[in-house]
């Protein structure tokens, strides 16, 4: 199977590809509407055929959109990740403007080579290419695709603010009607956060949180986790049951996060004077998932599992451990040489008679 990080890249790149495909299709339809029954372009006298134009535009747009998306999510986002949104858009637009001109030049040569049934470097193909480059029609295409490019980048930025899965769920209305599902939750909280904030100051503490959440990202992506909420120094990560249980993804996520901070301890010690430690609570159960809100919409989860998981995480200090897991989840996990579970205590939930057996990682 592909690494979850690359699966995410492919999904994001496909979003770009679909947007470009739509713009390519719309352009072909507008072009046909303007040219009507003409079998040539009036400005360049090049031959025109609607079917071949539609195929080239659609296929070329999809392909270049996917390449654009892959470059964007795997490279450029990292380069401009710390810049304000407007700076990112301007710098990326300048970069892609050159890219677009190069792409259109190659596409024009390929189309003319096919229409003239000649090689790419034949005189008639080159002459037709220069006529196209020097004509307003070429620059109108640049502007049209540039607009599509900006829309694709704005959609990508919007998806990054909401979260990829949440954006797609909104787009396709997956939770427009509330539905029930079994999910695994991890409530991850920084130990001694109040003491750290008082020690280093609230401005620097905020920088610490940004660094922590950034360093957690790879672990969450590698284990197919979905970030549900940031609540101050607490982060809530969720998995559909099948995904979270696959290769113990949910527990592996906490393990990878712990290893990440161990590797980065010099960075945190030098910059903040201390290495942050996190405690986690895990639980699995039934939630109702759906869209809510009018002025501001969100996809939220409701159910006892959320309060229970928060309560489990809150007991970490009581039992002097960094991770507590409910028996319901332990019974579904694969106990192997990587993870051993040890009984800790039974938790009494407020207003309920049942006790929840808690485990920790041994």
pLDDT in tens, 73-106: 777 777 776 677 777 777 777 777 787 788 778 8
Indicate whether 142 and 205 sit together in one domain.
no
Indicate whether 115 and 256 sit together in one domain.
no
Measured between alpha carbons, how far is 280 from 314 in angstroms, rounded to an integer? 9
Indicate whether 97 and 185 sit together in one domain.
no
Helix axes 136-162, 164-172, angle to 10 degrees: 110
Regarding predicted confidence, which is higher, 236 or 127?
Answer: 236
pLDDT in tens, 158-208: 766 666 666 666 666 666 788 899 999 999 999 988 889 999 998 999 999
Please report the beta strands in the chain, taking only residues with DSSP state E, as ranges in sequence order. 179-190, 226-231, 234-240, 278-292, 298-302, 323-326, 341-348, 355-361
Q: Does residue 322 form part of some domain?
A: yes
Indicate whether 185 and 313 sit together in one domain.
yes
Indicate whether 14 and 94 sit together in one domain.
yes
Of 99, 131, 162, the one marking the end of a domain is 162
Q: Does residue 293 form part of some domain?
A: yes
Expressed as residue numbers, the domain containing 311 is 174-361
Q: Does residue 49 form part of some domain?
A: yes
Q: Does residue 198 form part of some domain?
A: yes
Of 102, 128, 162, the one marking the end of a domain is 162
Kindly report the CATH number assigned to the domain that includes residue 346. Answer: 3.30.70.1230
Helix axes 249-263, 202-222, angle to 10 degrees: 130
Indicate whether 72 and 191 sit together in one domain.
no
Tally of domains within the chain: 2
Indicate whether 138 and 23 sit together in one domain.
yes
Indicate whether 45 and 185 sit together in one domain.
no
Indicate whether 71 and 204 sit together in one domain.
no
Indicate whether 114 and 77 sit together in one domain.
yes
* pLDDT score of 260 more than 90: yes
Of 162, 187, 202, the one marking the end of a domain is 162
Q: Does residue 167 form part of some domain?
A: no
Q: How far apart are the first and last CA of the chain?
A: 29
User: What pLDDT, on the 0 to 100 scale, is given for residue 167?
Assistant: 65
């Amino acid at each position: 199977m592909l690494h979850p990080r690359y699966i995410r890249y492919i999904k994001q790149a496909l979003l770009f590809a679909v947007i470009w495909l739509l713009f390519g299709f719309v352009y072909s339809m507008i072009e046909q509407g303007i040219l009507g029954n003409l079998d040539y372009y009036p400005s360049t006298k090049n031959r025109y055929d609607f079917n071949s134009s539609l195929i080239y535009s659609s296929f070329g747009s999809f392909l270049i959109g996917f390449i654009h998306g892959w470059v964007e999510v795997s490279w450029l986002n990292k380069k401009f990740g710390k810049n304000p949104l407007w700076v990112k858009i301007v710098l990326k637009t300048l970069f892609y403007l050159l890219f677009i001109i190069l792409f259109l030049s190659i596409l024009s040569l390929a189309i003319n080579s096919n229409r003239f049934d000649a090689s790419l470097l034949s005189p008639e193909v080159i002459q037709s290419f220069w006529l196209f480059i020097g004509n307003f029609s070429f620059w109108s295409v640049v502007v049209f695709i540039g607009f599509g490019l900006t829309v694709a980048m704005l959609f990508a930025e919007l998806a990054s603010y909401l979260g990829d899965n949440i954006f797609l769920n909104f787009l396709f209305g997956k939770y427009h009607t509330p539905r029930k599902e079994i999910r695994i939750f991890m409530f991850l909280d920084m130990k001694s956060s109040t003491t750290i904030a008082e020690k280093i100051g609230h401005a620097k503490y905020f920088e610490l949180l940004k660094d922590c959440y950034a360093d957690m990202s790879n672990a969450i992506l590698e284990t197919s986790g979905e970030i549900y909420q940031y609540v101050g120094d607490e982060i809530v990560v969720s998995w559909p049951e099948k995904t979270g249980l696959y290769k113990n993804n949910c527990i592996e996520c906490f393990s990878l996060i712990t290893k990440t901070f161990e590797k980065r301890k010099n960075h945190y010690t030098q910059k903040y004077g201390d290495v942050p430690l996190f405690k986690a609570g895990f639980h699995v159960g039934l939630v109702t998932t759906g869209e809510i809100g009018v002025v501001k919409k969100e996809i939220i989860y409701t159910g006892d599992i959320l309060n229970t998981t928060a309560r489990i995480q809150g007991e970490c200090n009581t039992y002097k451990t960094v991770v507590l897991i409910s028996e319901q989840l332990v019974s579904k996990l694969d106990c192997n040489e990587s993870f051993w579970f040890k009984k800790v205590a039974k938790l009494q939930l407020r207003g309920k008679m049942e006790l929840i057996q808690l485990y920790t990682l041994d």
